[in-house]
Amino acid sequence: MSATHPTKRETVHSLCKSIVTRLENHKSISFPVRLRQIVADEVFHLVGPFILTDEDLRDRTLAKIGAKASVLEDSQFTDSAQYKTAKSMVRQSFGDDELNGFYFQKPLKAVAETIVQYFMRSSHIDDVYETDEDLEHQIVEVVQKFNPSELH
Protein backbone atom coordinates (compact mmCIF):
# COMPACT_ATOMS: atom_id res chain seq x y z
CA MET A 1 0.00 0.00 0.00
CA SER A 2 1.57 3.25 -0.99
CA ALA A 3 1.65 6.13 1.43
CA THR A 4 0.15 8.41 -1.21
CA HIS A 5 -3.14 6.49 -1.21
CA PRO A 6 -3.92 5.36 2.33
CA THR A 7 -7.23 3.54 2.59
CA LYS A 8 -10.18 5.48 3.98
CA ARG A 9 -13.73 4.61 5.08
CA GLU A 10 -15.01 5.67 1.62
CA THR A 11 -12.75 2.98 0.16
CA VAL A 12 -14.57 0.32 2.20
CA HIS A 13 -17.83 1.66 0.79
CA SER A 14 -16.39 1.40 -2.74
CA LEU A 15 -15.36 -2.19 -2.01
CA CYS A 16 -18.93 -3.02 -0.94
CA LYS A 17 -20.30 -1.40 -4.13
CA SER A 18 -17.83 -3.46 -6.17
CA ILE A 19 -19.02 -6.68 -4.53
CA VAL A 20 -22.68 -5.90 -5.23
CA THR A 21 -21.94 -4.80 -8.81
CA ARG A 22 -19.86 -7.90 -9.56
CA LEU A 23 -22.55 -10.26 -8.26
CA GLU A 24 -25.23 -8.37 -10.16
CA ASN A 25 -23.20 -8.31 -13.39
CA HIS A 26 -22.53 -12.04 -13.12
CA LYS A 27 -26.25 -12.59 -12.61
CA SER A 28 -25.57 -14.21 -9.24
CA ILE A 29 -28.13 -11.98 -7.55
CA SER A 30 -30.92 -9.80 -8.86
CA PHE A 31 -32.67 -6.76 -7.46
CA PRO A 32 -34.42 -3.68 -8.86
CA VAL A 33 -31.83 -1.29 -10.30
CA ARG A 34 -33.26 1.57 -8.24
CA LEU A 35 -32.20 -0.31 -5.09
CA ARG A 36 -28.53 -0.77 -6.09
CA GLN A 37 -27.30 2.04 -3.83
CA ILE A 38 -29.45 0.82 -0.92
CA VAL A 39 -28.11 -2.73 -1.27
CA ALA A 40 -24.50 -1.44 -1.40
CA ASP A 41 -25.14 0.80 1.64
CA GLU A 42 -26.67 -2.08 3.59
CA VAL A 43 -23.70 -4.34 2.80
CA PHE A 44 -21.37 -1.52 3.91
CA HIS A 45 -23.23 -1.00 7.20
CA LEU A 46 -23.26 -4.75 7.80
CA VAL A 47 -19.57 -5.51 7.20
CA GLY A 48 -17.95 -2.05 7.37
CA PRO A 49 -17.30 -2.34 11.12
CA PHE A 50 -15.24 -5.49 10.45
CA ILE A 51 -13.08 -3.88 7.74
CA LEU A 52 -10.74 -1.22 9.04
CA THR A 53 -8.51 1.08 6.98
CA ASP A 54 -5.22 2.95 7.19
CA GLU A 55 -7.30 5.96 8.24
CA ASP A 56 -8.79 3.93 11.13
CA LEU A 57 -5.31 2.77 12.09
CA ARG A 58 -4.07 6.36 12.20
CA ASP A 59 -7.10 7.60 14.15
CA ARG A 60 -6.83 4.81 16.71
CA THR A 61 -3.10 5.40 17.06
CA LEU A 62 -3.64 9.10 17.72
CA ALA A 63 -6.40 8.29 20.19
CA LYS A 64 -4.13 5.81 21.98
CA ILE A 65 -1.48 8.46 22.55
CA GLY A 66 -4.00 11.25 23.08
CA ALA A 67 -2.83 13.33 20.12
CA LYS A 68 -4.90 15.62 17.93
CA ALA A 69 -5.16 15.16 14.16
CA SER A 70 -3.47 18.52 13.68
CA VAL A 71 -0.31 17.00 15.14
CA LEU A 72 -0.07 14.87 12.01
CA GLU A 73 0.83 18.00 10.08
CA ASP A 74 4.18 17.72 11.82
CA SER A 75 5.92 14.91 9.94
CA GLN A 76 8.48 14.65 12.72
CA PHE A 77 5.66 13.54 15.02
CA THR A 78 4.61 10.65 12.78
CA ASP A 79 8.25 9.58 12.67
CA SER A 80 8.51 9.71 16.47
CA ALA A 81 9.15 6.59 18.50
CA GLN A 82 5.99 7.26 20.54
CA TYR A 83 3.79 7.32 17.44
CA LYS A 84 5.46 4.29 15.86
CA THR A 85 5.16 2.27 19.08
CA ALA A 86 1.49 3.18 19.51
CA LYS A 87 0.81 2.42 15.83
CA SER A 88 2.44 -0.98 16.20
CA MET A 89 0.31 -1.77 19.26
CA VAL A 90 -2.90 -0.68 17.50
CA ARG A 91 -1.92 -2.60 14.36
CA GLN A 92 -1.41 -5.77 16.41
CA SER A 93 -4.94 -5.43 17.78
CA PHE A 94 -6.27 -5.58 14.20
CA GLY A 95 -5.19 -9.20 13.79
CA ASP A 96 -3.33 -10.77 10.88
CA ASP A 97 -5.95 -10.40 8.17
CA GLU A 98 -4.62 -7.47 6.12
CA LEU A 99 -5.25 -7.22 2.39
CA ASN A 100 -4.80 -4.23 0.07
CA GLY A 101 -4.78 -1.77 2.98
CA PHE A 102 -7.86 -3.28 4.62
CA TYR A 103 -7.57 -4.79 8.10
CA PHE A 104 -10.19 -7.49 8.63
CA GLN A 105 -11.48 -7.91 12.17
CA LYS A 106 -13.02 -11.22 11.14
CA PRO A 107 -11.56 -13.67 8.63
CA LEU A 108 -12.44 -12.70 5.06
CA LYS A 109 -14.47 -15.91 4.68
CA ALA A 110 -16.61 -14.90 7.69
CA VAL A 111 -17.16 -11.44 6.15
CA ALA A 112 -18.21 -13.12 2.88
CA GLU A 113 -20.59 -15.43 4.79
CA THR A 114 -22.17 -12.40 6.47
CA ILE A 115 -22.79 -10.77 3.08
CA VAL A 116 -24.28 -13.98 1.66
CA GLN A 117 -26.63 -14.26 4.67
CA TYR A 118 -27.73 -10.68 4.00
CA PHE A 119 -28.51 -11.51 0.34
CA MET A 120 -30.56 -14.53 1.43
CA ARG A 121 -32.75 -12.60 3.87
CA SER A 122 -32.91 -9.08 2.41
CA SER A 123 -36.26 -7.89 1.12
CA HIS A 124 -34.32 -5.82 -1.46
CA ILE A 125 -32.90 -8.88 -3.19
CA ASP A 126 -35.32 -10.53 -5.63
CA ASP A 127 -33.33 -13.69 -6.32
CA VAL A 128 -30.05 -15.43 -5.54
CA TYR A 129 -28.92 -17.75 -8.35
CA GLU A 130 -25.75 -19.23 -6.85
CA THR A 131 -24.94 -21.50 -3.93
CA ASP A 132 -23.67 -19.91 -0.73
CA GLU A 133 -20.20 -21.29 -1.49
CA ASP A 134 -20.15 -19.82 -5.01
CA LEU A 135 -21.24 -16.42 -3.71
CA GLU A 136 -18.62 -16.49 -0.95
CA HIS A 137 -15.94 -17.42 -3.49
CA GLN A 138 -16.94 -14.50 -5.75
CA ILE A 139 -16.96 -12.06 -2.81
CA VAL A 140 -13.51 -13.20 -1.65
CA GLU A 141 -12.25 -12.85 -5.24
CA VAL A 142 -13.56 -9.27 -5.50
CA VAL A 143 -11.85 -8.34 -2.23
CA GLN A 144 -8.57 -9.97 -3.28
CA LYS A 145 -8.52 -8.16 -6.64
CA PHE A 146 -9.77 -4.82 -5.31
CA ASN A 147 -7.12 -2.14 -5.64
CA PRO A 148 -7.89 1.06 -3.68
CA SER A 149 -5.22 3.01 -5.56
CA GLU A 150 -7.15 2.54 -8.83
CA LEU A 151 -10.04 4.56 -7.39
CA HIS A 152 -8.09 7.83 -7.53
Per-residue tens of pLDDT for the chain, all 152 residues: 334 467 788 999 999 999 999 999 999 999 999 999 999 999 999 999 999 888 888 888 878 777 555 555 555 555 677 777 777 777 777 666 788 888 898 899 999 999 999 999 999 999 999 999 999 999 999 999 998 777 65
Q: Structural domain of residue 82, as residue ranges?
A: 54-100
In a domain, 2, yes or no: no
Q: What is the pTM of this model?
A: 0.82
Report the number of distinct structural domains present in the chain.
Answer: 2
Do 69 and 59 lie in one domain? The reply is yes
Do 58 and 81 lie in one domain? The reply is yes
In a domain, 151, yes or no: no
In a domain, 1, yes or no: no
Cα-based angle 133, 131, 97 (whole degrees, multiple of 5): 25
CA distances from 97 to 9, 27, 109 (A): 17, 29, 11
Do 96 and 81 lie in one domain? The reply is yes
Please, which residues bridge with residue 103 across strands?
Answer: 52, 98
Do 62 and 129 lie in one domain? The reply is no
In a domain, 152, yes or no: no
d(CA 41, CA 48): 10
Do 88 and 24 lie in one domain? The reply is no
Sheet with strand 98-99: strands edge to edge: 51-52, 102-104, 98-99
